Amino acid sequence: MPTTKTYLSKIKTALSLLVLNIAFLSTNVYANENSLIIPEATKGKTCVEPIPEMRKNHMEYLLHKRDLTMHEGQRTKKHSLKECISCHVKKDKVGEYISINKEGQFCQSCHSYAAVSIDCFGCHATKPDAKLGILNSQNVKNKGITSLITRLQKTAKSTDE
Protein backbone atom coordinates (compact mmCIF):
# COMPACT_ATOMS: atom_id res chain seq x y z
CA MET A 1 0.00 0.00 0.00
CA PRO A 2 1.51 3.37 -0.92
CA THR A 3 1.67 5.96 1.80
CA THR A 4 0.34 9.51 1.63
CA LYS A 5 3.93 10.67 1.29
CA THR A 6 4.49 8.72 -1.96
CA TYR A 7 1.15 10.00 -3.28
CA LEU A 8 2.22 13.54 -2.56
CA SER A 9 5.60 13.09 -4.28
CA LYS A 10 3.87 11.58 -7.31
CA ILE A 11 1.51 14.57 -7.52
CA LYS A 12 4.51 16.88 -7.15
CA THR A 13 6.39 15.33 -10.07
CA ALA A 14 3.24 15.36 -12.19
CA LEU A 15 2.68 19.02 -11.42
CA SER A 16 6.28 19.98 -12.13
CA LEU A 17 6.13 18.12 -15.43
CA LEU A 18 2.92 19.96 -16.31
CA VAL A 19 4.49 23.31 -15.45
CA LEU A 20 7.54 22.46 -17.51
CA ASN A 21 5.32 21.42 -20.38
CA ILE A 22 3.36 24.67 -20.26
CA ALA A 23 6.58 26.63 -20.11
CA PHE A 24 7.93 24.67 -23.07
CA LEU A 25 4.73 25.16 -25.10
CA SER A 26 4.60 28.86 -24.39
CA THR A 27 8.22 29.37 -25.40
CA ASN A 28 7.43 27.41 -28.53
CA VAL A 29 4.58 29.76 -29.44
CA TYR A 30 6.75 32.72 -28.59
CA ALA A 31 9.50 31.45 -30.85
CA ASN A 32 7.00 31.01 -33.70
CA GLU A 33 5.73 34.54 -33.28
CA ASN A 34 9.27 35.75 -33.49
CA SER A 35 9.93 33.76 -36.64
CA LEU A 36 7.08 35.45 -38.53
CA ILE A 37 8.96 38.17 -40.33
CA ILE A 38 6.93 39.89 -43.00
CA PRO A 39 9.06 41.85 -45.44
CA GLU A 40 8.21 45.54 -45.58
CA ALA A 41 6.60 47.09 -48.63
CA THR A 42 8.95 48.89 -50.98
CA LYS A 43 6.70 51.87 -51.72
CA GLY A 44 6.05 53.46 -48.33
CA LYS A 45 4.31 52.41 -45.14
CA THR A 46 0.63 52.97 -45.87
CA CYS A 47 -1.40 50.39 -47.73
CA VAL A 48 -4.52 51.03 -49.86
CA GLU A 49 -6.65 50.30 -46.76
CA PRO A 50 -5.74 50.37 -43.05
CA ILE A 51 -3.27 47.57 -42.32
CA PRO A 52 -5.45 45.61 -39.80
CA GLU A 53 -8.27 45.69 -42.36
CA MET A 54 -5.95 44.43 -45.09
CA ARG A 55 -4.62 41.64 -42.87
CA LYS A 56 -8.14 40.41 -42.24
CA ASN A 57 -9.92 41.10 -45.50
CA HIS A 58 -7.39 41.44 -48.34
CA MET A 59 -8.93 38.44 -50.09
CA GLU A 60 -12.34 40.14 -50.20
CA TYR A 61 -10.86 43.22 -51.87
CA LEU A 62 -8.99 41.04 -54.34
CA LEU A 63 -12.10 39.02 -55.16
CA HIS A 64 -14.21 42.11 -55.77
CA LYS A 65 -11.55 43.72 -57.92
CA ARG A 66 -10.95 40.48 -59.82
CA ASP A 67 -14.57 40.28 -60.98
CA LEU A 68 -14.65 43.96 -61.91
CA THR A 69 -11.51 43.66 -64.01
CA MET A 70 -12.27 40.31 -65.61
CA HIS A 71 -15.91 40.89 -66.51
CA GLU A 72 -16.28 44.67 -66.72
CA GLY A 73 -12.83 45.71 -67.90
CA GLN A 74 -11.99 48.06 -65.03
CA ARG A 75 -8.23 48.52 -65.00
CA THR A 76 -7.56 50.68 -61.94
CA LYS A 77 -4.58 49.72 -59.85
CA LYS A 78 -6.16 49.99 -56.40
CA HIS A 79 -6.91 46.55 -54.88
CA SER A 80 -5.42 44.75 -57.89
CA LEU A 81 -3.16 41.74 -57.31
CA LYS A 82 -0.65 43.19 -59.75
CA GLU A 83 -0.30 46.32 -57.65
CA CYS A 84 -0.01 44.30 -54.41
CA ILE A 85 2.91 42.49 -55.98
CA SER A 86 4.58 45.55 -57.45
CA CYS A 87 4.55 47.20 -54.01
CA HIS A 88 5.52 44.19 -51.89
CA VAL A 89 7.98 42.41 -54.17
CA LYS A 90 11.65 42.36 -53.15
CA LYS A 91 14.78 42.27 -55.25
CA ASP A 92 17.75 40.02 -54.68
CA LYS A 93 21.41 41.09 -54.61
CA VAL A 94 21.66 41.02 -58.40
CA GLY A 95 18.61 43.30 -58.66
CA GLU A 96 16.25 40.63 -59.97
CA TYR A 97 12.76 40.34 -58.56
CA ILE A 98 12.16 37.49 -56.10
CA SER A 99 8.84 35.66 -56.58
CA ILE A 100 6.29 36.87 -54.03
CA ASN A 101 5.33 33.27 -53.21
CA LYS A 102 8.89 32.15 -52.40
CA GLU A 103 9.56 31.26 -48.79
CA GLY A 104 10.03 34.32 -46.60
CA GLN A 105 8.51 36.68 -49.15
CA PHE A 106 5.48 38.84 -48.41
CA CYS A 107 2.59 36.55 -49.37
CA GLN A 108 4.22 33.27 -48.45
CA SER A 109 5.62 34.25 -45.05
CA CYS A 110 2.20 35.03 -43.62
CA HIS A 111 0.36 32.27 -45.45
CA SER A 112 2.70 29.56 -44.27
CA TYR A 113 2.44 30.92 -40.71
CA ALA A 114 -1.36 30.76 -40.92
CA ALA A 115 -1.22 27.42 -42.80
CA VAL A 116 -3.39 28.71 -45.63
CA SER A 117 -2.41 27.79 -49.17
CA ILE A 118 -2.46 30.50 -51.82
CA ASP A 119 -4.31 29.72 -55.03
CA CYS A 120 -3.36 32.87 -56.95
CA PHE A 121 0.01 31.89 -58.28
CA GLY A 122 -0.94 28.79 -60.21
CA CYS A 123 -1.93 31.27 -62.92
CA HIS A 124 -0.80 34.76 -61.92
CA ALA A 125 2.71 36.08 -62.35
CA THR A 126 4.63 36.16 -59.09
CA LYS A 127 6.70 39.21 -59.98
CA PRO A 128 6.28 42.31 -62.14
CA ASP A 129 7.19 41.98 -65.84
CA ALA A 130 10.80 43.07 -66.12
CA LYS A 131 10.86 45.11 -69.33
CA LEU A 132 7.38 44.98 -70.80
CA GLY A 133 5.95 46.22 -67.53
CA ILE A 134 7.73 49.51 -67.97
CA LEU A 135 6.59 49.97 -71.55
CA ASN A 136 3.01 49.02 -70.78
CA SER A 137 2.53 51.09 -67.67
CA GLN A 138 -0.05 53.87 -67.71
CA ASN A 139 2.44 56.42 -66.37
CA VAL A 140 4.68 56.08 -69.37
CA LYS A 141 1.71 56.33 -71.68
CA ASN A 142 0.62 59.59 -70.08
CA LYS A 143 3.98 61.24 -69.58
CA GLY A 144 5.50 60.35 -72.90
CA ILE A 145 8.89 59.32 -74.11
CA THR A 146 11.06 61.35 -71.68
CA SER A 147 9.54 59.57 -68.72
CA LEU A 148 10.08 56.26 -70.47
CA ILE A 149 13.76 57.01 -70.99
CA THR A 150 14.30 58.06 -67.37
CA ARG A 151 12.52 54.97 -66.14
CA LEU A 152 14.55 52.73 -68.41
CA GLN A 153 17.72 54.36 -67.17
CA LYS A 154 16.61 53.82 -63.58
CA THR A 155 15.96 50.12 -64.14
CA ALA A 156 19.26 49.80 -65.97
CA LYS A 157 20.97 51.30 -62.91
CA SER A 158 19.12 49.06 -60.46
CA THR A 159 19.98 45.98 -62.47
CA ASP A 160 23.61 47.10 -62.59
CA GLU A 161 23.66 47.27 -58.79
Partner 1 sequence: MASNEKEGAPVNTRREFLVKISAAGALTITPGLFLYKVAEAKSDNELASANKRWGMLIDTARCADGCNACVEGCNKEHGLTGHGREATDAQWMRKVTVTDKSIGKTISLPIMCQHCENPPCADVCPTGASFKRKDNIVLVDKHICIGCRYCMMACPYKARSFIHEELSNQKSYSPRGKGTVESCTFCVHRVDQDKQPACVEACNESGHKAIVFGDMKDPNSELSVALKTSSSRQIRADLGLNPGVRYKNF
To partner 1, the closest distance from the beta carbon of 75 in angstroms equals: 4
CB 112 within 8 A of CB 103: yes
To partner 1, the closest distance from the beta carbon of 157 in angstroms equals: 22
- Would you say 41 or 113 has its CB closer to partner 1? 41
Q: CA 74: distance to chain centroid?
A: 25
DSSP-based three-state secondary structure for 91: strand
To partner 1, the closest distance from the beta carbon of 131 in angstroms equals: 11
DSSP-based three-state secondary structure for 39: coil
Which has the closest alpha carbon to 49: 64, 67, 30, 70?
64
- Would you say 9 or 42 has its CB closer to partner 1? 42
Binding site for partner 1 (CB under 8 A): 66, 68, 70-77, 82, 85, 122-125, 127-129, 132-133, 136, 138, 141
Question: In a 10 Å sphere around its CB, with 0-12 CB exposed, 13-18 middle and 19+ buried, how is residue 4 labelled?
Answer: exposed
To partner 1, the closest distance from the beta carbon of 116 in angstroms equals: 17
- Would you say 43 or 141 has its CB closer to partner 1? 141
- Would you say 115 or 132 has its CB closer to partner 1? 132
